[in-house]
Structure 1
Amino acid sequence: MSNDRPVALITGSSSGIGAASARLLAKRGYNVVINYSRSADAAEAVARECEALGAATIVQQANVAEDADCRALAQAAEDKWGRIDALVNNAGTTRFCAHENLEGLSAQDFQELYAVNTIGAYQMVRAVAPAMQAAGKGSVVNVASIAGVMGFGSSVAYAASKGALITMTKSLARALGPAIRVNAVCPGFVRGSWLAEGLGEKRYNAMIERLEANSPLASVCTPEDVAESIAYFAAGAGVTTGETLLLDSGTHLGRL
């Protein structure tokens, strides 16, 4: 089944940045593939929101750490619409561990984070590349993190996995042009349940207060803020590839 609407495949889109991106791209005329690993009901709710905005949807469970799941996601979009115009590699995981606690992370922790955050993104690019290359155009947006630039965040393993994703963005941008553009967004602290649950309410609120006091823009990101930049790379930015955009209200600049 073909369709004149462009198609966006968004991993990890049952909540947070992924869900916000699905809603925004649906509003801007895309059909969307909504992916979840565990939260089927939440994914279906996002799909209903997208359909109310005029999009057709696919809701599909997949663990991006599994190559077969990645290929099945891409195949579902091709089978239904005959095209994949944008891939948003948003699926991610972490382990919260203070950076100075060197005994707090195991080799398995690193392997599990890399499997989703870095290898999963690579496998998704590989799965969608044939459709994009056949069409002669496509856009990949990798959701990295300021942690991968600055070396802080929820754990050393998380920061390292996102740093690897940023480097991979540059490698793939070079390798897949001119048909496919590959860019990355690097959110800072993002309001939402993921960090609230991981940090606990007290630390979560304290972090927001500290970041608002010390960032030049005196604010922290929302999922909708990040989605705006994802949509820009997905649908615009026609001469931009291999770029890494920091979305942290200027936190990386600090205050003098």
Structure 2
Amino acid sequence: MQGSVAIVTGGGTGIGAATVRRLAARGVSCVINYASSRDDAEALAYEVGHGAIAVQADIVEDAACRELVAAAIDRFGRVDFLVNNAGRTRFAAHEDLDALDAADFVDVYQLNVIAAFQMIRAAAPALRGSAQGAIVNVASVAGVFGIGSSVAYAASKGALITMTKSLARVLSPVIRVNAVAPGYVGTGWFEKRLGEEGFAKLNAKVAAATPMALATGPDEVATPIEMLLDPAMRAITGEVMLVDAGAHLDVGLSRRPGREN
């Protein structure tokens, strides 16, 4: 992967930042996309080196996606990898059917699905010119099991998973397309809102509920992203890898009659 170039959307923080660090350690030059986290993205670019650059783009806009890819080509002359990591949600209990309106669904879908498609479309010509073109979409177990922060979020991630399989088919054999589907990921987003002590308690609670006794962190998601981009994985496309410390093995069981929690 030495000398390759990757675009990572939402790359300044969380899973995106962890992915940038792992790719840079492999000698990959990264284009770190951000919407508003300029300081984080620029500091990360300085930290990882390899000519990494931070580029602001609101990828909900198709023109911004094309400009982001153009910035990568202008700087490095190529694009080998794309990580569609940027995403958003609306928090609402699934059983509360009045908690979301059409605008909530559209807002979540625009970034989680349409923007990912637009990025793939914009990057496809450059990826076709690479001998190792690969894409990883960051989905969620919410899109596999219909769980998570809201119905809108679960529906959008389900659509992203379907799109992953569709595009893996049509972009083969030149470009591989895979997805990772994390469950809970203990990012700085939680720590900022809960504080250090609250964040530690949440991680302990999550770990106690998973078969692997682990609260998944950004690095645990970045590792399979790196792996799926690696040209050594050329036999794998259209795959959705669950990354949740085995929590999916227990999905739904806690609501079964007679089960103790």
- Give the equivalent residue in structure 2 for 1:103: 98
- Give the equivalent residue in structure 2 for 1:49: 47
Q: Secondary structure at the match of 1:26?
A: helix
State the distance in 2 between where 1:222 and 1:20 align.
Answer: 9
Distance 1:159 1:197, change over 3 A: farther
Query: Number of residue pairs matched?
Result: 249
Instruction: Give 5+ residue unaligned stretches, structure 1.
Output: none
Q: Secondary structure at the match of 2:98?
A: helix
Does 2:85 correspond to 1:87?
no
RMSD: 1.9
- Give the equivalent residue in structure 2 for 1:248: 244
State the distance in 2 between where 1:250 and 1:210 align.
Answer: 15
Aligned residue runs from structure 1 range 1-256, under 5 A: 5-51=3-49, 55-196=50-191, 200=194, 207-235=202-230, 236-254=232-250
Q: Secondary structure at the match of 1:29?
A: coil
Q: Deviations over 1:4-42 (max 9, x none)?
A: 710010000110000010111011110000011011111
Distance 1:197 1:151, change over 3 A: farther
State the distance in 1 between where 2:27 and 2:168 align.
Answer: 25
Larger deviation, residues 147-156 vs 85-94: 147-156
Cα offset, 1:194, TM superposition: 2.4
Contact residue 211 and residue 251 of structure 1 kept, 8 A: no
Q: Secondary structure at the match of 2:233?
A: coil
Q: Which amino acid aligns with 1:245?
A: M
State the distance in 2 between where 1:132 and 1:96 align.
Answer: 35
State the distance in 1 between where 2:198 and 2:112 align.
Answer: 24
Contact residue 188 and residue 220 of structure 1 kept, 8 A: no
Contact residue 183 and residue 241 of structure 1 kept, 8 A: yes
State the distance in 2 between where 1:24 and 1:193 align.
Answer: 18
Distance 1:197 1:115, change over 3 A: farther
Larger deviation, residues 32-41 vs 126-135: 126-135
Contact residue 178 and residue 237 of structure 2 kept, 8 A: yes
Q: Deviations over 1:20-75 (max 9, x none)?
A: 10111011110000011011111111111111xxx111211111111001001111
Q: Deviations over 1:187-209 (max 9, x none)?
A: 110011224557x5698666534
Contact residue 220 and residue 249 of structure 1 kept, 8 A: yes
Cα offset, 1:134, TM superposition: 2.5
State the distance in 2 between where 1:47 and 1:126 align.
Answer: 25
Runs ≥4 residues deviating over 2 A: 134-137, 193-198, 200-211
Cα offset, 1:100, TM superposition: 1.3
Q: Deviations over 1:142-166 (max 9, x none)?
A: 0001111111111110111001000
Larger deviation, residues 141-150 vs 188-197: 188-197
Contact residue 9 and residue 88 of structure 1 kept, 8 A: yes
Q: Which amino acid aligns with 1:57?
A: A
Instruction: Give 5+ residue unaligned stretches, structure 2.
Output: 254-258
Q: Percent identity?
A: 51
